[in-house]
Amino acid sequence: MEIIILDRNTVTLEDIDFSCFEEMGDVKYYNVLPKDKLPEILKTAKYVICNKAVFDENLINTCEKLKYIGLFATGFNNVDLKAANQRNITVCNAPGYSTESVVQHTFALLLNLAGSIGKYDEFTQNGGWINSATFSFFDFPITEIHGKTLGIVGFGTIGKRVAQIADGFGMKVIVHTRTIPDNSRYSFVTKEELFEKSDFISLNCPLNEGTKDLVNDKTLALMKKSAYIINTSRGGVVNQDALARVLNEGSIAGAGLDVLETEPMLESNPLLKAKNCIITPHTAWASKEARQRVVDLAASNLKEYLKGNPVNTVNDRV
């Protein structure tokens, strides 16, 4: 049996073990490829694992023998599910593998903003402390997060874990989500209430018609001047022009972003030079532990499919 693995370099720096696939058959590995190279490589493929390679209708119909698409990801918007279903191709994602990594990164951004950690490091590295007139230099804002209100948008696995960690810091948690769970001890509020009341906002929601440009001129205008916004979900949840404008005007205190609307980042992105905006290159998910988990989970999905018991299928989410 031959297994094709695409986008290998998006999950490993040669530090991840792929033997879980090699136990099942002959594996051919490819790094990220131009779209026009995929039809030739996949013309006889039956089992393909990928991360972000785009399986649109044209490519799916070109792959005449394709039976299975596995994903090194929770998201599956890169696969045309209607076309896959028409061809009876099973598509499986990898849910939950990155929860701890994303939550850790969320709080890394939050704490960096609250304590101006990056600014103090830059000050010290540039000789500022050496030349300081006093033993302690605290010109950049430092805000205690204990007692502050954290507004969480989206209350899936990651949103729930963010709330649990916030509890440990003594934060007050409020939540805005489409589906309100039963018997939760957190306060569920409207979108407008969340933007008005929060000292920190953590975006942990999927990107869909209801959340696209959720952060926009109107919602940003509701925020406190002292408030911060953190996005580790999807870039399209934030209107980049609107956020850059309020940051540069000082209408909110800052932002921490791990995702952007277009990735890799464009040089023209207005957030690149925006004031008090921390940007990381979509790394929240990418701890070594999470990357190994996603590879192991993708392999487990394929094993179950081959046994006739497919799990984590997304074919019905059209």
Q: What pTM was estimated for this model as a whole?
A: 0.93
Going by the DSSP 8-state scheme, the letter that residue 22 receives in this structure is H
> What are the tens digits of pLDDT across the range 57-97?
999 999 999 999 999 999 898 999 999 999 999 999 999 99
Give the homologous superfamily in CATH for domain 99-279.
NAD(P)-binding Rossmann-like Domain (3.40.50.720)
> What are the tens digits of pLDDT across the range 23-34?
999 999 999 999
* Whether residue 318 has pLDDT greater than 90: no
Position 173 scores a pLDDT of 98
Q: Which amino acid, 268?
A: S
Residue 317: burial class (beta carbons within 10 Å; 0-12, 13-18, 19+): exposed
Structure tokens at 213: 């440009």
Same fold, 2-96+288-306 and 99-279: yes
Question: Measuring CA to CA, which residue among 85, 49, 28 is closest to residue 300?
Answer: 49
Going by the DSSP 8-state scheme, the letter that residue 313 receives in this structure is B
> What are the tens digits of pLDDT across the range 196-235?
999 999 999 999 899 999 999 999 999 999 999 999 999 9
Structure tokens at 255: 């932002």
Position 63 scores a pLDDT of 96
Residues involved in catalysis = 234, 263, 282
Residue 103: burial class (beta carbons within 10 Å; 0-12, 13-18, 19+): buried
* Whether residue 104 has pLDDT greater than 90: yes
- Yes or no: say if 310 and 90 are a contact pair by the CB < 8 Å rule: yes
> CATH fold of 2-96+288-306, please?
Rossmann fold (3.40.50)
For the segment 160-170, the average pLDDT, to the nearest whole number, is: 98
> What are the tens digits of pLDDT across the range 179-196?
999 889 999 999 999 999
